[in-house]
Structure 1
Amino acid sequence: MGKQKKTRKYATMKRMLSLRDQRLKEKDRLKLKKKEKKDPSALKEREIPQHPSCLFFQYNTQLGPPYHILVDTNFINFSIKAKLDLVQSMMDCLYAKCIPCITDCVMAEIEKLGQKYRVALRVAKDPIFERLPCTHKGTYADDGLVQRVTHHKCYIVATVDRDLKRRIRKIPGVPIMYISNHRYNIERMPDDYGAPRF
């Protein structure tokens, strides 16, 4: 004799007694709470997000040459694949002096990738790159970049990662540099700074 197959029931919940059920004792039963009337003359408290003083009509006044550009791991990798010189291509994109910055967590991420990304590691260790210490919790590099950009609005973020771009777009006043058609482009850069429009 074979075993009878039982179909598993999905989304079934255990039946529970309502706290207002008649079978419960008085002490276990839920007492109906009366709604408290709010005083109309009392001050209403609202939480309004504080925007930094450097933003003027969503434009960042702290941005200006020489530009400090936070570089992500995949941005270095894709630059090497597209055969682009990082600093020269950044200067061609922004028409100004650029200082590429790399955080400790991004550096650690490149080192973890191993032998396959040794060229990217050599590029990242170049003295042209400004090293920034990390203060955030955890080892995830994207969190570190997002935290640094929210606190200090003087950076442009260079990344190809879609998720990181989506997170940075929610932060007002932070431009994003990316690679398309074998050259660097920039989005969300104010027109006053002379950034090219492609």
Structure 2
Amino acid sequence: MPKSKFKKFATVKKIISPSDPRLSSAQEKLERQKKRQAERLAPVEAPKVQSTMFFSHNEALGPPYRIIVDTNFINHSIQRKLDLVQSMMDCLLAKCTPCISDCVLAELEKLGPKYRIALRIAKDPRFERIHCMHKGTYADDCICNIVAKDPVYIVATNDRDLKRRLRKIPGVPIMYIGGRTARRYNIERLPEALGAPRT
């Protein structure tokens, strides 16, 4: 039989549709490569360090010390039955003003009735309030921002992650409660000339 000259019914040329996953993956790869190249070529802006800083020491610090207190520092102090203000003064041998940010207070309020003693201590009139103007109530970010803008504070915390972040900011001394059985505060990155205890 001779072949018919007519086209087969319902035959269509195969064309890749724009929503085909093979096309999108190729486009995503190109976009990723462009982003990587842009990141490599982008200028890196290092944060400006104030002239009062000398290596890890901050010459702007001096008595009376202003100490920003973190949530877990208050909790650890309660567990070890330490009076915050008196223990700070014993550690630094100078007058100390504990400071607390709105974010730390909000964090304590969120923790509920279990932490009511810590909240009562935080609302003590001897504590200086630092008002926050940013969105959210994440205390670690708040403390890092305060200290980076105005390095006249010592930060009291037992949080490892926050300590790691604070060590990247030059000239910020960190107060902590040393060891599991220790019943006194310790301080790091504060020179002995400014009152740091000899270890």
TM range (shorter): 0.7 to 0.9
Which amino acid is the alignment partner of residue 93 of structure 1?
C
Structure 1 residue 91: Cα displacement: 0.2
> Scaled by the length of structure 2, what TM-score is found?
0.75
Write the deviation string for residues 14-35 of structure 1: whole angstroms up to 9, x where unpaired: 877989xxxxxxxxxxxxxxxx
Which amino acid is the alignment partner of residue 196 of structure 1?
P
- How many pairs does the alignment contain? 160
Structure having the larger proportion of residues in helix: 2
Give the Cα separation in 2 of the matches to 1:93 and 1:48. Answer: 34
Structure 1 residue 52: Cα displacement: 1.2
* Aligned-pair identity (%): 66
Please list every run of 5 or more consecutive structure 2 residues that lacks an aligned counterpart in the other structure: 1-20, 28-42
Residues 194 and 115 (structure 1 numbering): CA distance in 2 closer, same or farther, change over 3 Å?
A: same
Residues 116 and 95 (structure 1 numbering): CA distance in 2 closer, same or farther, change over 3 Å?
A: same
Which amino acid is the alignment partner of residue 60 of structure 2?
Q
Among 94, 99, 102, which residue is 1:101 paired with? Answer: 99
Q: How does 1:21-100 map to 2 (within 5 A)?
A: 47-100=45-98
Among 118, 121, 124, which residue is 1:123 paired with? Answer: 121
Among 168, 171, 191, which residue is 1:170 paired with? Answer: 168
Q: Which moved more, 1:146-155 or 1:188-197?
A: 188-197
Structure 1 residue 191: Cα displacement: 2.1
Residues 80 and 47 (structure 1 numbering): CA distance in 2 closer, same or farther, change over 3 Å?
A: closer
Give the Cα separation in 2 of the matches to 1:140 and 1:49. Answer: 22
Which amino acid is the alignment partner of residue 192 of structure 1?
A
Structure 1 residue 110: Cα displacement: 0.5
Match for residue 196 of structure 2? 195
Q: Is 1:149–1:155's contact at 8 Å kept on the other side of the alignment?
A: yes
Q: Is 1:136–1:147's contact at 8 Å kept on the other side of the alignment?
A: no
Secondary structure of the 2:98 match is strand
Give the Cα separation in 1 of the matches to 2:94 and 2:116. Answer: 29
Match for residue 40 of structure 1? none
Q: Is 2:56–2:172's contact at 8 Å kept on the other side of the alignment?
A: no
**Structure 1 stretches (4+) deviating beyond 6 angstroms?**
14-19
Write the deviation string for residues 30-64 of structure 1: whole angstroms up to 9, x where unpaired: xxxxxxxxxxxxxxx87554211221344211100
Give the Cα separation in 2 of the matches to 1:182 and 1:58. Answer: 27
> Scaled by the length of structure 1, what TM-score is found?
0.75
Structure 1 residue 137: Cα displacement: 3.1
Larger Rg: 2
Match for residue 187 of structure 2? 186
Secondary structure of the 2:66 match is strand
Which amino acid is the alignment partner of residue 71 of structure 1?
V
Give the Cα separation in 2 of the matches to 1:131 and 1:184. Answer: 22
